[in-house]
Amino acid sequence: MHRINFNTIQNPDTGRYLIEDFEISQVLNPHTLTLEKSSKPYERTAVLFGYPNFDSSLEMVSDINIPGKFDSSETLNSPEIKENVAINYPPLPGTLEEVELLEELLQINNWEVETFIQDAANETNLKKVKSPTLLLVATHGYFDLKSETDIKLNDTVRYETKKAFNDPMLKSGLLLAGANNFLSAKDQARMFFEENGIFTAHEASMLDLFKTDIVILSACDSGTGEIKRGEGVFGLQRGFFSAGAKSVLMSLWKVDDNSTKALMTRFVKKYAKGIEKQTALRETQLELMKQNPHPHYWGSFVLVER
């Protein structure tokens, strides 16, 4: 149930998708349905992250370089590490176009917009965000990385280890600036950096988003997570809801840059003008359906409200 977009279910008798005949809302808690939606106008503030430089040096994207005898910069640049890259994430040029388009659309509608791209699209800057009305992160998402990059929280540093990966809130996240360098570094080098380009759902839960109306995760697999009986999905959505966000727009399966950009620009344009977000998403998906009828292209994203 947590991994289904009900809008993409097709009526076998009519051939029509549910989205064509119904406006379906997905909520984190059924109690939400009994609450009256607030008509209070929100502040027009947005923070956009996109097109991270996954190859940024860890020194550049981290606030903390723990002092010690170990020369981390020398080790990170050693030929041995460069020749043994375990995981390498390619750049997403489509997210740069997406962020630039959204920035323009929002500003046209008198929104105050702050944008972080390339080296600036890092964990340090994301953790400094303070309750914008709209927060968008356009990058690679992941669920259940290979054991080589399993994540453990240490008292002083966060770095990957094979030994402890039982917390489901660590199994999904977003890749930000510096991720490739971190993933390719040896364990000893990893220990020297607080921010590593791997932004987990656990870290998302510690953000300040109590005045944030919507978090948009324009990334692959951003809606997935480990399902626990009675607890819902422990994934990125859980993290951002714990941080206070009122709603999360996220993907349930991998989508290409162009399809994502088309959906995001249409949706944000409507939302920026004041159209209710659930209505804005439905209108957007119906419009995209006319161009590409198959749900793969328009049905990946779902909006879940707290």
User: What are 191's two structure tokens?
Assistant: 């220990």
Closest CA to 8 of 259, 262, 237, 294: 294
Q: Which residues of the chain have pLDDT under 50?
A: 1, 64-86, 145-164, 188, 223-233
Amino acid at position 208, single letter: D
Question: Do β-strands 301-305 and 247-251 pair in parallel, antiparallel, or remain unpaired?
Answer: antiparallel
pLDDT for position 67: 38
Q: What is the Cα–Cα distance from 197 to 148, expressed in whole angstroms? A: 15
| Residue 163 CB burial class (10 angstroms; 0-12, 13-18, ≥19) | exposed
pLDDT for position 232: 39
Distances (CA, A) of 240 to 157, 234, 235, 298: 22, 11, 9, 23
For the four alpha carbons of 225, 96, 300 and 33, in that order, the dihedral sign comes to positive
Asked if residues 299 and 7 have their Cβ atoms less than 8 Å apart, the reply is yes
Asked if residues 143 and 171 have their Cβ atoms less than 8 Å apart, the reply is yes
Dihedral of CA atoms 227, 215, 259, 280 in degrees, nearest 10, equals: 110
Q: What is the Cα–Cα distance from 60 to 80, expressed in whole angstroms? A: 21
Its pTM stands at 0.80
Cβ burial 270-298 (10 Å sphere, 16+ → b, else e): bbbeeeebbebbbebbeebbeeeeebebb
Q: What is the Cα–Cα distance from 245 to 173, expressed in whole angstroms? A: 16
Q: What is the Cα–Cα distance from 139 to 95, expressed in whole angstroms? A: 7
Residues in the chain: 306
Can you tell me whether residue 58 is helix, strand or coil? Answer: helix
Considering only the C-alpha atoms of the chain, give the largest distance between any 2 of them, rounded to a whole number of Å. 71
What percent helix, strand, coil does the chain show, rounded to 5?
35, 20, 45
Asked if residues 140 and 159 have their Cβ atoms less than 8 Å apart, the reply is no
Angular region, 131: left φ>0, alpha ψ -120 to 50, beta rest = left
